[in-house]
Amino acid sequence: MFRQVRSSDERFKTLTFKPGRNILIADKTPQSSATASRNGAGKSSLIEILHFVLGMRRLTNSVLQNAALKADTFSLQLDWPKVPDVLSVSRSLNKRSRINLDPDITENGTLVPVAGSVTVPKWTAAIGQSLFGFPDEHVGINARSLLSLYIRRVSQHGMDDPVKTFPNQSMADATTNVAYLLGLDWHLAAGYQELASRESLRQKLKKAAKDPVFGLVVGTVSELRGQVAAATVRVRELEEQVAAFRVVPEYEALQARADEIDAQIRRTRAEDAADRRNLQDLNDALRDEHEPAADYLRRVYQELGVELPEAVLQQYDDVQSFHQSVLANRRSYLEEEISATSDRLDARQADREHLGEEQATLLRRLRDGGALDAFTALQEQLSLAHSRLQTLTTRFETAKQLEATQAEIKFERSRIQQEVNRDLVEREQRIAEINILFQRFATSLYGPGRDAYIDISALDSSLRISPHIGGKNSQGISKMITFCFDLTYAVLAHRNGRGPDFLVHDSHLLDGVDERQIAEALKLASIVCAEEGLQYLVTLNSDDLAKIEHYDASLSQDIIEPRLTDAFSDGGLFGFHFE
């Protein structure tokens, strides 16, 4: 239950609440004109403050957006499970991302006897767990959505529909949260949300498919299926290579030695080619070497009739002997060069055989392993292959969703609808309890002559939860349908540990309602609070109070102080006027 609401601004009118019924009155001052309203008194502002302190994320259309309130910090004291005294919660408009709790009830789900500052998500998670009894897995239900049912906001049109709390809320989302409060199978109801998401995505993809670029970005199922298969094979191959890869620590040195040996082998082969050419030249030279003929000189001189002197002939013999000596020396030199060249060829051949054996050993070691940078490069290729596979898989799944037919979605809807129908049959006793309670509340307002029931059935797109009260369809009846419906889920949820012990209604819920029904509604709220241990907070204009007091004399006992007024300067909740 709420205990107190206050602000860091001293002008703010602190409000203190009690168990049971609490009525916050906005008076019309004598100075007000006949057409003046109490909209500036701050009744609806209280609703905004409660939501803000209880984890509201956005201030859209809220009075709290006003710059005049920027420096304010609002605090709420309320009862909390397992907290012996009260829990104090405060939040600043200037630093909205943090919630101050005293004591901090979010620390590992246990009570910590000191104050603490927590994030908004952590605070809302604690609300869901402690006030609404959320299980660990609660996909489809949301604490903030449930609070919007318990504290309806006029700024979000929260009173226009008994099940939805804002116009754009999907019916699947709304009925899932209500199903949780009523004790129905909200897991099945949440299945409609997932199906609605698929249908929404299908429609968006279908629309996007009309863009020529879309086909290039996504592609077709048939094309992508093959690409995904190829990418999968590539990933597996690289994974096998990485698994089999052995890093050789001295890889670089081995590789350098292998390269050096290869260069040496190539160099000796080049030297062999030069020596073989030289050997050929030497052999040719040796073969062409012979003693020059000298007899032709005698014949020449005899034919000329010249007889050479003996001295000349002796000199000729000496020259011939000299030539023979030179020829012998040259033959010896050529034979030595041929032998040396052959020896060099044989030596290099032996070196090459030795180098070849060493090179073969090195290449075997290099083939069996690799360097660390090669292993790193291989891992990078594997990472890129994984990334490509993931991208292709995402495109493939998107393309499959795009090509999913409406018939498939319709089949899934039919399946969920059948499951929900079977579950509702099994929960007939629970549904009867819901209707009996709702009918009791409606009868208190309108008597036993009207049909009052909550239609709970499975549609193809959502679970239908639709309260009805028979009679002429009017604004007043529709507002009282919401009132009775709110009271129904508040009672049932509190009985089963699925909801808090408070319910708040803004005076806008009573607009257009007959004064007798307003009186009966407030009387009913007081009775139910006493029976169920609940707290009911309602805001009301003083002239409406004057009209209904003769129906319920106890109303004055539940009016909380201070009473707000429409005084221009300081009569409202905030204690000062701002635009």
The full set of domain ranges for the chain reads 2-184+427-565, 251-369
SS3 content of the chain, % helix, strand, coil (to 5): 60, 10, 30
Average pLDDT over residues 122-128: 94
Predicted local confidence at residue 36, as pLDDT:
43
Both tokens assigned to 309: 């002197």
Sign of the torsion angle spanned by Cα atoms 434, 437, 443, 448:
positive
Average pLDDT over residues 118-129: 94
Predicted local confidence at residue 19, as pLDDT:
96
Amino acid at 123: W
Residue 127 pLDDT > 90: yes
* Global pTM exceeds 0.75: no
Look at phi and psi of residue 109 and say left if phi exceeds 0, alpha if psi is from -120 to 50, else beta: left
- In order of 273, 564, 565, 567, the CA distances from 33 in angstroms are 121, 17, 13, 11
**Average confidence score pLDDT of the chain:** 83
Alpha carbon dihedral 311, 313, 316, 317, in 10-degree steps, equals: -100
Distance CA 127, CA 498 (A): 11
310-368 and 251-288 helices, crossing angle to 10°: 160
Predicted local confidence at residue 301, as pLDDT:
62
Predicted local confidence at residue 530, as pLDDT:
96
Predicted local confidence at residue 141, as pLDDT:
94
Question: Which CATH number is 2-184+427-565 given?
Answer: 3.40.50.300
Residue 431 pLDDT > 70: yes
Look at phi and psi of residue 157 and say left if phi exceeds 0, alpha if psi is from -120 to 50, else beta: left
Both tokens assigned to 333: 């030199």
Predicted local confidence at residue 382, as pLDDT:
78
Bridge partner list, 453: 468
Q: Are 89 and 99 in contact (CB under 8 A)?
A: yes
Distance CA 142, CA 125 (A): 9
